[in-house]
Structure 1
Amino acid sequence: MMQISETVKHLIIINVIMFVGTLAIGNGTLFYEWFALYFPKNDAFQPWQIVTHMFMHGGFMHIFFNMFALWMFGTPVEQVLGSKRFLFIYFSAGLGAFLFQLAYYYVQYVPNYNALIESGLSPEKIKQMLTTNEVISGTTNAQVSMLKDIFPAYNASMVGASGCIMGVLAAFGMMNPEARLMLIFLPIPIKAKYFIPGIIILDLISGLTGQSFFSPSNTAYMAHVGGALIGFIIMWYWKKNQFNNNRWY
């Protein structure tokens, strides 16, 4: 059995502590209100959530699979890169995941919000209806339709280490392209250089179409894509410059 590396071990411990706190404190809602990442236009958003959401999870299976992947792929990556560079990839991928998902939400939100303002609704009324999910008297059908389009983005919350782990997974794939991987429910070994891009492409398709392949329908697919892309870029840069001060071996 592969021995867990130190940084990976500490990250798993922090995630487990946060998960236990979520279950034990505040009837399962207080930690989400404080530490999940909310859309910046929502009053529930706080700056620290940009980091804390990476240590939050939505259920036992969510944290189990994420921590299993962190142990499985994070340990060999940390063993090669060392703890500092591993953490750099981990948190950079998490931030990249946040930015990609946020951009995806803003693409949905901004045009509809501007159209609602142009249609005569005040910012206060828009906020009231988005917060309460109740339509104010006098709102037209067209306005209601636009409100429905931006309601999911406005009220979205993000939790999970998936974006960080996708960055680590991309790094692992670049370091071990010939390693054979397989899905639990599809036990066919596939080389990492094909398996990992395939997973990322499926996430991208899911994010753009809403068609879920392996994950729950409420998965932040663009966060997965963003985390993987940042992990790939960092590893590409380090590998390209492996003979200078940025070497990664």
Structure 2
Amino acid sequence: MRRRGSWDIGDAPGLGWLGMPTNAVRALLIVNAAVFILQTLVLLAGNLVRGDAAWHSLFDRVFGLSGGGLRSGMVWQLGTYMFLHSTNILHIIFNMLALWMFGREVEEWIGARRFLQLYFTGGLVGALCWLAFNWHGHAPLLGASAAVYAVCIAFATLVPERPITMLLFFIVPVTMKAKWWAWIAVALVAYASVVETGGNIAHLAHLGGVVVGYVFIKWLGWGESSRFVETLQAAARPVTRLLEERQRRKNMPPEEFISTQVDPILDKISREGIHSLTREERRILEQAQAKMKERGQEPPPSSAARR
């Protein structure tokens, strides 16, 4: 059983490390692999035809993320960069292995739609964190690492007590709880973000993914309570209620909309004048006019007609 606020590790889906990937994870694995194959073919074709990597470099500049690219209007880079990887095959192997290992269970917990929201939000926020310090650069950012970090941290937030075995230096097996692995990863990423100013590893993007992975799961109300996220949720409730009310009004039949929403506003205009209306009340009147035009009717009577 899934519960809000606390977790029993025995309740977690037992997919096993060798299980088949879930729907969203499978789709992401396939797309990333297909794009990597395309990158490789572009590189090979360029070497055969031109004798250099110019085509591949152009491909990365167009679809990888850079401040220069965004300034040139290539806004699609915010989405496409996370499907490109370095020609070093270890880059994509480690990302896809982590996505496969941890993403399946996260998707089982939160569903495919929310999993994709988590994945792409992690990639987008990671991109923005990186751009904040690389806006004037032209070297492209490539890779799904920020999105994958979001998934891994989401896993550790959902099942913090889960024992995970990793191969240290690819040789020594080390078993720790998921939350401790997560803390180690966060510490390393934070340290690298501050210390390593050079190189081509986008630690700031990784850090953005880390934040998204934690906040996203807490925002859904799962895991241990978080005062920070509860404060964010409380601040967002008035906006959420306003959007829900607007949607409810939009779906109202015109007659009900006029009687329940417009008539009180027209009465207020009669009493206090049109300048007394709030922005939301003016929005309601504009919505009423649109509803009437759709039905080929006259708009609601003005304040002068009601006096």
Q: Same fold judged by TM-score > 0.5?
A: yes
CA separation of 1:238/1:43 partners in 2, compared to 1, >3 Å: closer, same or farther? closer
Is 1:9 aligned to residue 9 of structure 2? no
Q: Report the residue type matching 1:237 in the other structure.
A: W
% identical aligned pairs:
32
Root mean square deviation, CA, Å? 2.4
Q: Distance in 2 between matches of 1:41 and 1:211?
A: 21
CA separation of 1:96/1:43 partners in 2, compared to 1, >3 Å: closer, same or farther? closer
TM (normalized to structure 1)?
Answer: 0.71
Structure 1, unpaired ranges of 5+: 107-152
Is 1:207 aligned to residue 224 of structure 2? no
Contact 1:21 1:31 in 2 (8 A): no
Q: Secondary structure at the match of 1:158?
A: coil
Shift of 1:179: 1.6
Counterpart of 1:50 in structure 2 is: 78
Counterpart of 2:105 in structure 1 is: 76
Counterpart of 1:198 in structure 2 is: 184
Q: Distance in 1 between matches of 2:108 and 2:222?
A: 20
Q: Report the residue type matching 1:74 in the other structure.
A: G
Q: Report the residue type matching 2:41 in the other structure.
A: A
Q: Within 5 Å, give how 1:161-240 maps onto structure 2.
A: 161-184=144-167, 185=169, 186-210=172-196, 217-239=199-221
Q: Distance in 1 between matches of 2:183 and 2:25?
A: 23
Q: Report the residue type matching 2:180 in the other structure.
A: Y
TM (normalized to structure 2)?
Answer: 0.58
Shift of 1:240: 5.2
Q: Report the residue type matching 1:68 in the other structure.
A: L
The count of corresponding residues between Structure 1 and Structure 2 is: 193
Q: 2:126 pairs with 74, 84, 97, which one?
A: 97
CA separation of 1:241/1:194 partners in 2, compared to 1, >3 Å: closer, same or farther? closer
Deviation per CA, 1:139-197, whole angstroms, max 9, x where unpaired?
A: xxxxxxxxxxxxxx613311000000111111100111112234432521111111112
Q: Distance in 2 between matches of 1:19 and 1:164?
A: 17
Q: 1:154 pairs with 137, 140, 144, which one?
A: 137
Q: Secondary structure at the match of 2:85?
A: coil
Q: Report the residue type matching 1:157 in the other structure.
A: P
Q: Which has the larger radius of gyration?
A: 2
Q: Report the residue type matching 2:214 in the other structure.
A: F
Counterpart of 1:135 in structure 2 is: none
CA separation of 1:48/1:42 partners in 2, compared to 1, >3 Å: closer, same or farther? closer
Shift of 1:104: 2.8
Q: Distance in 2 between matches of 1:14 and 1:240?
A: 29
Structure 2, unpaired ranges of 5+: 1-17, 47-55, 225-232, 234-307
CA separation of 1:69/1:95 partners in 2, compared to 1, >3 Å: closer, same or farther? same
3-12 vs 231-240, which deviates more?
A: 231-240
Counterpart of 1:130 in structure 2 is: none
Q: Report the residue type matching 2:181 in the other structure.
A: F
Q: Report the residue type matching 1:34 in the other structure.
A: V
Q: Distance in 2 between matches of 1:90 and 1:50?
A: 13
Q: Distance in 2 between matches of 1:88 and 1:30?
A: 29
Contact 1:200 1:224 in 2 (8 A): no
Q: Distance in 2 between matches of 1:96 and 1:240?
A: 21
